[in-house]
Structure 1
């Protein structure tokens, strides 16, 4: 396996994980920018598929995202490098913070900084939704556009549990794949 690719996977996920605040959905857009836009190792549609897999798998989406990208790029060695890169920064940061928790808990400046970061996280998540939703619309597949809109409506207005939305989307994808395969065989 090419050591340059493995070191690039490790350093990229290490860097992204070190400077990503706000959860896994924030790192998804950064993974896309790094591996799709900058390095061109993954195309846009593959990234959407990988994010769907990461999202529907149990566990933290940041780690799942690193796993699927690492596997796509370099199989098992890529997974190991990506996971180490994604896990080391939060582990170190949380370990350090735990030693100073009481000081951070009462500190006005730290609280203000965290509140400001919350607004930034919302903007990054909105950017991810805009980019990925835009890609679905650009694909001009009416079924996927309807599924996206129905998922949003179900989650936002009717408070349907995300598990049911993921299962419905998975069943729709399976059904679409089976129908496409049957048409190709006919």
Structure 2
């Protein structure tokens, strides 16, 4: 029973104290799950993260499901998922109760603007670290940057890039199979 409580508390703590969404949670989840608790090894975590990214839904919740299931089955998945979801639910509920009173406050607006660059860094850091871990060629790092620029400034829909990446992955896999 203690292990299930530990699963819940680890993900509750991460969910409660991380700003920036799921991708900002990834390095904290990795540190806890791989380094501190040893529930998964590095490769299992990367594989779980890849599954979480390709599954519908928020990446942090999907990662919580995979980690919980891998370490303790269905009950573990339930504990980690509740741990990941409850802090956001509680915080959003509290914000909704008080937001009407503070939404036009200049200091609140400035605080949210000040947090934005830190959130970008929290998202960029795990992406960079994961690319090193899985051996992504440094020459290909321009691809996600180019895609982000094209989506932002050229108005190209992300769906186009998802389809191109899927087709490219299939072709690459077939070519690699043939060798």
Normalised-by-shorter TM-score class: 0.7 to 0.9
From the superposition, tell whether residues 50 and 35 of structure 1 become closer, same or farther in structure 2 (CA, over 3 Å).
same
Alpha-carbon shift at residue 163 of structure 1 (Å):
2.8
Match of 1:22, SS? coil
CA distance in 2, matches of 1:24, 1:167: 23
2:55 is aligned, of 41, 45, 57, to 57
Residue matched to 1:116: 114
Alpha-carbon shift at residue 7 of structure 1 (Å):
1.2
Checking the alignment, whether the CA contact within 8 Å between 1:12 and 1:85 is kept in structure 2 is yes
Checking the alignment, whether the CA contact within 8 Å between 1:22 and 1:121 is kept in structure 2 is yes
In structure 2, stretches of 5+ residues that fail to align are none
Checking the alignment, whether the CA contact within 8 Å between 2:20 and 2:122 is kept in structure 1 is no
Checking the alignment, whether the CA contact within 8 Å between 2:8 and 2:82 is kept in structure 1 is yes
CA distance in 2, matches of 1:102, 1:47: 40
Alpha-carbon shift at residue 150 of structure 1 (Å):
7.3
Asked if residue 145 in structure 1 is aligned to residue 137 in structure 2, the reply is yes
TM-score by length of 2: 0.82
RMSD after superposition: 2.7
Count of aligned pairs between the two proteins: 172
CA distance in 2, matches of 1:68, 1:147: 31
Checking the alignment, whether the CA contact within 8 Å between 1:28 and 1:62 is kept in structure 2 is yes
Checking the alignment, whether the CA contact within 8 Å between 1:151 and 1:165 is kept in structure 2 is no
Match of 1:42, SS? coil
Checking the alignment, whether the CA contact within 8 Å between 2:14 and 2:28 is kept in structure 1 is yes
From the superposition, tell whether residues 145 and 168 of structure 1 become closer, same or farther in structure 2 (CA, over 3 Å).
farther
Matches within 5 A, 1:47-126: 47-126=45-124
TM-score by length of 1: 0.79
CA distance in 2, matches of 1:92, 1:108: 24
Residue matched to 1:132: 130
In structure 1, stretches of 5+ residues that fail to align are 138-143
Matches within 5 A, 1:40-51: 40-51=38-49
Alpha-carbon shift at residue 35 of structure 1 (Å):
0.6
Match of 1:106, SS? coil
C-alpha offsets along residues 112-135 of structure 1, whole Å, 9 cap, x if unaligned?
A: 222222222111112111210111
C-alpha offsets along residues 11-69 of structure 1, whole Å, 9 cap, x if unaligned?
A: 00000000111111011111001111212221111111111111111111121111111
Checking the alignment, whether the CA contact within 8 Å between 1:56 and 1:166 is kept in structure 2 is no
Residue matched to 2:163: 164
